[in-house]
Chains A and B, each alone.
Chain A
């Protein structure tokens, strides 16, 4: 039946948005600002995998499980480094300036990465075929069909959500992250190494973006320097919808958005309003429940 198939499609799309939204929301949770370059780190992750995967394949053989895991780990490490570098160079010097300055810088960093990469001497703007990392299978559930990549995305998102929750709630560094989030100045006075904590947060968020980038490219195997823009925007909306800074909220928001978009895509009168629906949700949530579905209202100190 169409309904079940569409629900499955929507979950597959939502899970990808969720993975990206986790990175957005975590950085926001700690630093209270939106890292707009997140979606570009996702793109860089996809390209890193594009270059690394064929080399790993030579060593481990085509489509081996070990090879895929190696690709994920290497790309996550590379992107973590990129994320930490961006933070060190672009955001840290502005940390004590007004929030607006950092926000504008984030947009600047994002545009800088996009346009540098579109240069023919860097990556070029042509769409390139992403290598097939794993064999794809389709599973039949009655008349509905589920793809193995979608299942993988859902499993990875669930696992990373649990891991993030564990890190933030149960570990020392997680406690430090929450402390920095609560009050940076006071944490510094209490001996929390604020710079290290923030660097770690960026590294972790960028590693998430890298994993999302690989999975996104596995789902849609054409990659180009602007590929992060659209899913990045959706993930940002999902994070706001779920309550920005709230990890389960990001996942909930993303799944809701993915389902809505997919169902709209299948209705003739609505199929060209998918973007309008996403932004309509953003406006509605800001009007009606600014803290998001799972967020708690807080008073922002300006």
Chain B
């Protein structure tokens, strides 16, 4: 936790205590509406968590600059879960019972959203995940929402992409057996790809964190495929692309939103060029909302280009604020109903509606890696 955040939250809790003593009303009756956030600000997925946090921060600032919600300013209380299992539960419990937040924003990683979901559900506090794509996340309860698509949609879109755009008749699938995300995406991909008439020539596994993938890649090269589907996270993906090039593999590799990190480019260098991945949105996709967002984000964060996680962090806070306005209150059940009624909301990441499963129905984009940079390639509608 940053000292600044600690001080503000400490000051805020003192203020809340004082107002409690003076007016005798429940917290939330103060001058601000408290919104909780838990994120991986340090640890393994720190780049993801930091981005989504910065996006959220920007949204809250803009909402307050425009006069706040229901006549009050929003106050964001952030807890760092260090990318560790077990920490999200502590963070969310603290936010709800000690800080008295009216809603929770977080997390990027599905496994950590799955941990916090039941706690929010039990407390009757709505939770919106910016970027957890695992289908199980919103199944934890009817108070849990997300502003991103699910892996069943992403897997199917990737399969269509392989068939139509890459014209691949035969692919290899290389799955990270240590990751639920990778396994889920692989099975969703396979289902649709086989339906499309494609053929899976070879299916191999690796362990996330391995450094040598030549055994698998040699077998894939021998199988003579048109493309390689690689649903994994960026550090492994970078090394796999490099070793594929070393072994003389020339067919494209493609994967999902786990690829999106600058680290992929800095480790993989020219060896990642010519490959594709799907993600939520692209900074250069050219929509007016995105262009405006990129500009204000760059202004606030020293010229840094926002990634999809930053955009989704921003959208999650905006969807929440919009629902508060429609509900006219921050009471749990009414706020929940208002979020669930979100329809045709124009977010930075695109137009979205929440379906009966509380998942966002929205388009995804494909990005091609060219000359060591991410280039917007196509939008796929649901």
Contact = CB atoms under 8 A, between A and B. Distances in A.
A267 B219 contact: yes
B382 interface: no
A222 B239 contact: yes
Nearest to B204: A271
Nearest to A9: B214
A191 interface: no
Contacts of B247: 5, 145
A230 B210 CA distance: 8
A274 interface: yes
A61 interface: no
Interface in B181-223: 202-207, 209-216, 218-219, 221-222
B122 to A, nearest CB: 32
A212 to B, nearest CB: 13
Contacts of A226: 209
Contacts of B177: 272
Interface residues of A, number: 41
B98 to A, nearest CB: 25
A221 B211 CA distance: 9
A300 interface: no
Interface string A8-43: 011011000000000000000000000000000000
B47 interface: yes
A220 interface: yes
A265 to B, nearest CB: 2
Interface in B3-41: none
A262 interface: yes
Q: Which of A120, A226, A227 has the most CB of B within 10 A?
A: A120
Contacts of B378: none
A268 B175 CA distance: 11
B242 interface: yes
A128 to B, nearest CB: 8
Contacts of B242: 221
Contacts of B286: none
A267 B222 CA distance: 12
A216 interface: yes
Interface residues of B, number: 36
B237 to A, nearest CB: 10
A266 B267 contact: no
Interface in A258-291: 261-268, 271-272, 274-275
Interface string B214-257: 11101101100000000000010011001000111000000000
B3 to A, nearest CB: 13
Contacts of B221: 2, 5
A222 B267 contact: yes
A266 B219 contact: yes
A231 interface: yes
A221 B235 CA distance: 10
A268 B204 contact: yes
Contact of A231 (B42, B202, B211, B214): B211
Contact of A271 (B205, B211, B222): B205
B210 A2 contact: no
A126 interface: yes
Contacts of A13: 212, 214
Given A125-B42, A138-B246, A266 B209 contact: no
Contacts of B205: 271-272
A127 interface: yes
A62 interface: no
B215 A126 contact: no
Contacts of B235: 127, 222, 224
Nearest to A17: B212
A129 B267 contact: yes
7 closest residue pairs by CB, A with B: A265-B215, A266-B219, A220-B211, A272-B205, A9-B214, A262-B215, A129-B266
18 contacts: A2-B222, A9-B215, A125-B42, A127-B235, A129-B266, A129-B267, A138-B248, A216-B211, A220-B211, A221-B267, A222-B263, A230-B209, A265-B206, A268-B204, A268-B219, A271-B204, A272-B177, A272-B207
Given A13-B212, A125-B44, A266-B204, 15 more contacts: A2-B221, A2-B222, A5-B247, A10-B215, A125-B83, A145-B247, A147-B246, A219-B211, A221-B239, A222-B235, A222-B239, A265-B204, A265-B206, A272-B205, A272-B206
